[in-house]
Amino acid sequence: METKKQRVFSGIRPTGGLHIGNYLGSIKQWVDLQDQSNDCVFAVVDYHALTTHQENLGKNSINLAKWVIASGVDPQKSPIILQSQISEHTELAWIFTCLEPLGELYRMTQFKEKKTGIKEGAVKTGLLAYPLLMAADILLYQTEIVPVGEDQKQHIELARNIAQKFNRKFGKVFTEPKVRLSEAPKVMSLKNPKKKMSKTDTNGIALLDSAEQIKAKIMLAVTDSAPGNEMSQGIKNLFALIKIFAPELLANFEKEYENKTIKYIDLKTELTLAIGKHLQPIQAKYSQISAGEILNVFRASREKILPLAQKTLSEVKKAIGIL
């Protein structure tokens, strides 16, 4: 049976140092969706990164696109755009800032987290308006599916809500997008499994890590002192990683866990080997891609997808009476 091609859009911020949470939560499912012949567009969202990271943006954007390609996204099939090169994103975002009430933005969990520790008056406007630019990214391409990690779910729901409200008020212009979570939508920190793995987490496994670095980090992963009935967060996280990187070993470790015969050192050793084996070809490919190639990918991707962005924006303007 032939399934209908769907429009897929997703993005990542070029804030440096991708980790396996980013890879498992987003990029890996980008590759899967592309390989199922969907119409995908992926973005390096540098204007989103600008809200928190103002250094090395250009270099980080290039390196991020290298990781996306090295992981299996084929820019011939799926355009990889640099957000700032398609001004329709910021133009549509401005329209949304004029339509959306502040209350919707104040309730965003990520905004609450990111403004923590910053004096009230010093919080940047861009941090608050961030989800509106994200909604513009998604809605500009008439997106049906948005593959992301759990932490972005609320933003996608907001984008869907913005589309619904706009369509009701001005006539149907936007497709209503749906979130798609991966098998590992929330990879937790190895050191503190109550928190998600993040770019600031020094024990997070970076895509660039060597076999020794991976080993050192996995060996330090928090487990629990004695296997009990209630599985700890740390163990759950290690099992979730085994399920993806070494699925053939999962049933056996689960059985050992149940029988209370499991040795975490064995699980950690196998996981270290499996992650290293998975990342090795990606790292090899990453090192072969030049910055020049990426600039060409950005240029060609923009050319390919710009007509769709222009079409949507002109429909939006027409609907609201902007001449």
Size of residue set near ligand TYM by CB under 6 A? 26
Least distance between ligand TYM and beta carbon 245 (Å): 14
CA distance 39 to 36: 9
**Residue 187 annotated as part of some ligand binding site:** yes
Cβ 113 to ligand TYM shortest distance, Å? 11
Tell me the C-alpha distance between 128 and 110, whole Å.
Answer: 9
Q: Which residues contact 262 (CB under 8 A, 6 or more apart)?
A: 227, 253, 256
**Contact call for residue 75 and ligand TYM (CB under 6 A):** no
Cα distance between residue 271 and residue 81, in whole Å: 34
Considering only residues 75, 149, 193, 276, which one is a binding residue for ligand TYM as defined by CB under 6 A? Answer: 149
- By CB under 6 A, tell whether 79 contacts ligand TYM: no
Residue 185 in the binding site for ligand TYM (CB under 6 A)? yes
Looking at 152, 175, 223, 301, which residue binds ligand TYM (CB under 6 A)? 152
Q: Angle between the 233-245 and 264-288 helix axes, to the nearest 10 degrees? A: 50
Closer by beta carbon to ligand TYM, 7 or else 196: 196
- Least distance (Å) from ligand TYM to the CB of residue 12? 4
Paired tokens of 36: 């199922």
Establish if 138 lies at the interface with ligand TYM (CB under 6 A). yes
Q: Which residues are catalytic?
A: 114, 196, 199
Rounded to a whole number of angstroms, the minimum distance from the CB of residue 140 to ligand TYM is 10
Residue 186 engages ligand TYM in binding (rule: CB under 6 A) = yes
Residues 188 to 247 in contact with ligand TYM, rule: CB under 6 A: 196-197
Alpha helix stretches (DSSP H) within the chain: 20-22, 28-35, 46-49, 57-70, 88-99, 102-106, 109-115, 125-140, 153-170, 211-219, 233-245, 247-258, 264-288, 291-320
φ, ψ of residue 78 to 5 degrees: the values are -125, 110
Q: Which residues bind ligand TYM (CB under 6 A)?
A: 9-13, 21-22, 24-26, 45, 48, 134, 137-138, 146, 148-149, 151-152, 155, 185-187, 196-197
